[in-house]
Amino acid sequence: MSFYPPRRTLMGPGPSDVYPRVSEALSRPTIGHLDPEFIRLMDEIKGLLQYAFQTDNALTLPVSAPGSAGMETCFVNLFEPGDQVIVLQNGVFGGRMQENVTRLGGQAIVAKTPWGRAVDLEQAESTIKQHPEAKAVAFVHAETSTGAMSDATALCNMASSAGMLSIVDTVTGLGGIEVAVDKWGADAVYSGTQKCLSCVPGLSPVTFSPRSQKVISSRNTPVQSWFLDLNLVMAYWGEGTQRAYHHTAPVNALYALHEALTMLKEEGLQASWQRHSDNHQALKAGLNAMGLELIVPAESRLPQLNAVAVPESVDEARVRQQLLAEFNLEIGAGLGELAGRVWRIGLMGCSSNPTNVRTCLAALEHCLLSQGVKLEAGAAVAAASAHYGH
């Protein structure tokens, strides 16, 4: 039998709701992955990704797999057994960076910042000075597990000044906050399509600086992953009309990515960032009206991923289940150290709009009232509406 999923409102940590234009793009006729028209599309996608990343990097492309593969693409191409990599960890996904280094036979030098906080710059600088032989500094710009945003400019500058590469995870950042690869001086950056781009899951945009390209092309050992070896992939994603077959690209998913990136360019980067910020401020006003607080300090909060402290008397899992069952609304649970302690409310891409903010606040209020939490009914939506001015 055919599968027909329920229609949800996705306000968790990803995926986000997909734009109708993106869904329509998926249904267009499939053509061959070496068709001249598809090659033309690939070149357009590359240019649109350069716009989104704010980079002139020639090596910019979508990996044919989700964000975790984008992460692995960076690590397997840049590092060899025995390499030392400084990992600045402040959440779950910094831990995955450490795991990548270890599996490659490298040495991960881990500097930990408390969860819910931006990477500690003083600690980062001290760790870099203590390990001048390290090849790179890796960190998460937009930590999906906590909603914390770290200072990519400062951290990339520290790495560059020490003669090290910088590897940046901005899976949740791209399209929702400023991502400025060239201004940062970042060497390898990866993201995902299912967050603020509001595209379908399954692709991972990556970009590499000229400096990191030289590292990739001058390795002493083969890249451990054949599929993710950029020396091979670039024969397909490179320049010109003649492309060498590497793998069968996810043709229709790339139609969808092209459409999502086209929509981002139509809106404009600054307008998209402002929209995410405005909806975040309205959500925060409504949460505060219910007596709920965000765990990340204001100066380092991600507007598109809001980690909300769960009141001690509340069954957090029951609230999420009730939201899904009664309102078809998905929010996320906490991960790792924050499991059972926070809800993660996403305002990403298509899902970042005033209607969703008000719907989420009203539904959350209903669930809290049903658990006996004392709050003023209607105050949350009123606070959000006051922020919007209507």
> Please, is 6 exposed, middle or buried when counting C-beta atoms within 10 Å of its C-beta (0-12, 13-18, 19+)?
exposed
3-state DSSP assignment of residue 268: coil
pLDDT above 90 (res 241) = no
pLDDT for the residue 165: 98
pLDDT above 90 (res 377) = yes
186 in Cβ contact with 166 (< 8 Å): yes
pLDDT above 90 (res 242) = no
Band the pLDDT of 365: cuts 50, 70, 90: very high
80 in Cβ contact with 220 (< 8 Å): yes
Indicate where the chain has its CATH 3.40.640.10 domain(s): 19-265
pLDDT for the residue 173: 98
Diameter over CA atoms, the chain: 66
How many alpha carbons lie under 13 Å from residue 106 in its C-beta half-sphere?
25
Indicate where the chain has its CATH 3.90.1150.10 domain(s): 269-388
Q: What is the mean pLDDT of the chain?
A: 97
pLDDT for the residue 240: 76
Tell me yes or no: is domain 269-388 CATH 3.40.640.10: no
* Mean pLDDT, residues 117-128: 98
- Above pLDDT 90, what percent of the chain? 98
CATH class of segment(s) 19-265: alpha beta
pLDDT tens digit string along 161-191? 999 999 999 999 999 999 999 999 999 999 9
d(CA 338, CA 44): 40
CA 375 remoteness from chain centre:
34
